[in-house]
Structure 1
Amino acid sequence: MAAERADAARNREAILRATEELLALHGPERISLDAVAARAGVGKGTVFRRFGSRTGLFQSLLAERAARIRAAIDGGPPPLGPGAPPRDRLLAFLDELAGLAAKNIALIAAHEQACAADKHQDPTYRRWHDHLAGLVGQLRPEADAEFVAHLLLGSFDGELVRRMTGSGGVDRLRAAVRDLATTVAPESAR
């Protein structure tokens, strides 16, 4: 794969930064490719060619925010990375998602709105789901791990995250999601 040109990388960063700023100022409803392009100092065509649509823009921004978690899951140190028991990895992953969701509530809400029809096919969602389903399957081989993974990811609905963190912060969200996880996927008997 060819390396990204320096000007293309600068434009990409400017577009993603502008999207974040607009999300913080106005929420997802008032974000258009025109507004993002103007704030980033690039042409609308640049935004469109790079991301294709608002959906593509929000998907890319979420994927960038989730890249550190993905790298840690794939090769980082335990408990998030390989080598830890499944229950420890599950809880560490959910803790990381809670932190990501709490810091990016507007992005999570925008992503949900933009991807509503295909939410479960979004590449970041698929990676998260597959990881959770694998861990749940190890903890509870008799369970429907795919369903349990969807259930756990449903805990990171944008409005739910906003409500939970609004009265208790990220610690409340983490504790509630951990409680749900240990209820639906307790450590298997050995």
Structure 2
Amino acid sequence: MIDVGFLGGPPAERADAAHNRRKILAAAAEMIAARGAEALSMDEVAKAAGVGVGTVYRRFGDRAALIYAVIDDRERRFQAGFLSGPPPLGPGAEPLPRIRAFLHALADRTEEQSDLLLTAETDSAYARFNDGSYALYQMHLAMLVARLDPRADSAYLADALLAPLAANLFRYQRHTRGMSLSRVKQGLDALAAGLAAAPASGSSAPPAPRD
């Protein structure tokens, strides 16, 4: 699905090709949001984007590839926000506001594509964790947690902060339990606040194994 290679940016493309790609992805994203991924039609996407259907097939190959491209396009924008965007999501803010802003932005990102993310994350037992985007999230949060408290087990706590944003739990809370997105964000804020308030009891390094 997502690869950490996003950090280097996509290869250069012609202006007209880039324009068509953006129109196709925008049309596909709108259709998926309105009717779900299963209802996505390459013909309808081409019509909505104002391009020939052959252009859509040449660019993306098939419907599955187009769906993943929609996920990837949204992911690129999210990564750009927390890596180089304005504070508090991007660099320049203190650790706690950045952690909160990151969790809120990830909640918004998950809300937009939770059905697609659920499919991707449940492809195999560890699909979510093997994906390059998760590794980047974890590294980013671990860095912020370590800045907040150098004594904390930052790697563990980063995983703990990301756990509520797994697509299956997120969808269960939103669609089965009826929690609002605002309530989810309030819960994430409480986790972050608790992290900042609690004294660390251990080291960021794992204990040495005993003989």
TM-score by length of structure 1 reads: 0.72
- Alpha carbons of 1:14 and 1:39: their partners in 2 closer, same or farther (altered >3 Å)? farther
Aligned length: 180
Query: Which residue of the partner structure matches residue 174 of structure 1?
Result: 185
**Cα 1:3–1:139, aligned 2, differ >3 Å: closer, same or farther?**
same
| Separation in 2, partners of 1:14, 1:6 | 12
Name the SS for the 2:92 alignment partner: coil
Q: Pick closer, same or farther for the CA change 1:67–1:145 going to 2, 3 Å.
A: same
- TM-score, L = length of structure 2: 0.66
Which residue number in structure 2 is paired with residue 46 of structure 1?
59
Within 5 Å, give how 1:41-190 maps onto structure 2. Answer: 41=46, 42-43=53-54, 44=57, 46-48=59-61, 54=64, 57-114=66-123, 117-166=126-175, 167-183=178-194, 185-187=195-197
- CA–CA distance in structure 2, aligned partners of residues 71 and 80 of structure 1: 10
- Which position in structure 1 is the counterpart of 2:18? 9
- Kept after mapping to 1: 8 A contact 2:121/2:127: no
- Runs (4+) off by over 6 Å: none
Contact 1:79 1:89 (C-alpha < 8 Å) held by counterparts: yes
Which amino acid is the alignment partner of residue 47 of structure 1? F
Q: Distance in 2 between matches of 1:115 and 1:16?
A: 26
Choose between structure 1 and 2: higher helix proportion: 1
Q: What amino acid is aligned across from residue 148 of structure 1 in structure 2? A: L
Give 2:114's aligned amino acid: I
1:25, CA displacement in angstroms? Answer: 5.4
Q: 1:45 to 1:118 in 2, by over 3 A?
A: farther
User: 5-14 or 76-85, which moves further after superposition?
Assistant: 5-14
The letter of the residue matching 2:59 is T
Deviates more, 1:152-161 or 1:56-65: 56-65
Structure 1 position 156, deviation (Å): 1.4
Task: State the AA in 2 paired with 1:97.
Answer: L
Alpha-carbon offset, residue 131 of structure 1:
0.9
Alpha-carbon separation, structure 2, partners of 1:16 and 1:110: 19
CA RMSD of aligned residues (A): 3.2
Distance in 2, Cα, partners of 1:109 & 1:187: 33
Structure 2: give runs of 5+ residues left out of the alignment. 1-9, 47-52, 200-211
Letter in 2 for 1:90: I
Note closer, same or farther for the CA distance 1:175–1:152 as it changes in structure 2 (3 Å cut).
same
**Identity within the alignment, %:** 33
Alignment correspondent of 2:207? none
Separation in structure 2 between the aligned mates of residue 117 and residue 8 of structure 1, nearest angstrom: 35
- Any gaps of 5 or more consecutive residues in structure 1? none
